[in-house]
Amino acid sequence: MSFSRRSLLVTAGTALAATATHGLAFADTAPAADPRMTTRELGDPNAKIVVEEWFSLTCIHCAHFSENTFPLVKKNLIDTGKIRYVFHDFPTDQLATVAAMVARTLPPERYEPFTASLLASLDRWAYIRDSSPLEALKKMAAFAGMPGDVFDKTVADQQLMQFILSQQTEAQNKYHFDSTPTFRFNNKIQMSNDMTYEAFAKNVADAS
């Protein structure tokens, strides 16, 4: 999903205003007291190759990668200990921001399965036509084990939202993304597009 720096800032401001009114491992990117703000990752923490993905939960290109390429990445590269895979929330609209907040509030081990489920069913919540996307997201969160009152508190949590948006802005300023998904391979190669498993594996090899 392509976006501009201006649209990113507008999205962040809109999300803040709208919400105000209405095995995974951890890293030390946030206070240890709040596990919602720790790094979400899969794989051997000592793997020689680290792959990072910045994605938006309403992005159709992120969804395509998640459904078609990531299962092979997990099977062939993550589960075999060849790479450590780090997930970064990079919401490109208000709804994606709220979805990222919900995903981070679930137990850490449910983060990747829940985000994969959201990306696999965009037409049933993000782009639903006959009901509220937020209500559809609430139902999906309930299926993942989140009580309704917890969901309501989560989507109104300004501290969590600010954390996600601050991380997003920091990444944008540092790496100058122009679309999602964006990948960085061992801090050597950066790619901003959906890709096949073959292309992904080649980048891993080239970054090793």
Q: Tens of pLDDT along 33-85?
A: 789 999 999 999 999 999 999 999 999 999 999 999 999 999 999 999 999 99
| pLDDT at position 19 | 39
Neighbours of 50 (CB within 10 A): 17
Model confidence, pTM: 0.84
How do residues 152-196 score in pLDDT, each as one tens digit? 999 999 999 999 999 999 999 999 988 899 999 999 999 998 999
The yes-or-no verdict on residue 130 having pLDDT over 90 is no
The span from the CA of 167 to the CA of 145, in Å, is 26
| pLDDT at position 28 | 41
Asked if the structure places residue 70 within a domain, the reply is: yes
Domains in the chain: how many in total? 1
The yes-or-no verdict on residue 12 having pLDDT over 70 is no
Q: Which backbone phi and psi does 81 adopt, to 5 degrees?
A: 85, 10
Q: Which domain holds residue 181?
A: 40-206
| pLDDT at position 102 | 98
Asked if the structure places residue 105 within a domain, the reply is: yes
On average, the pLDDT of the chain sits at 88
Tokens of 202: 């080649």
Asked if the structure places residue 31 within a domain, the reply is: no
The yes-or-no verdict on residue 9 having pLDDT over 70 is no
Asked if the structure places residue 33 within a domain, the reply is: no
Asked if the structure places residue 13 within a domain, the reply is: no
The span from the CA of 65 to the CA of 147, in Å, is 30
The yes-or-no verdict on residue 100 having pLDDT over 50 is yes
Asked if the structure places residue 146 within a domain, the reply is: yes
**What CATH number is attached to the domain comprising 116?**
3.40.30.10
**Cβ–Cβ < 8 Å for 186, 55:** no
| pLDDT at position 27 | 40
The span from the CA of 28 to the CA of 31, in Å, is 7
| pLDDT at position 177 | 86
Q: Alpha carbon of 65 to those of 25, 54, 90, 179: distances in Å?
A: 22, 12, 15, 13
| pLDDT at position 2 | 52
- DSSP-assigned beta bridge partners for residue 51: 85, 185
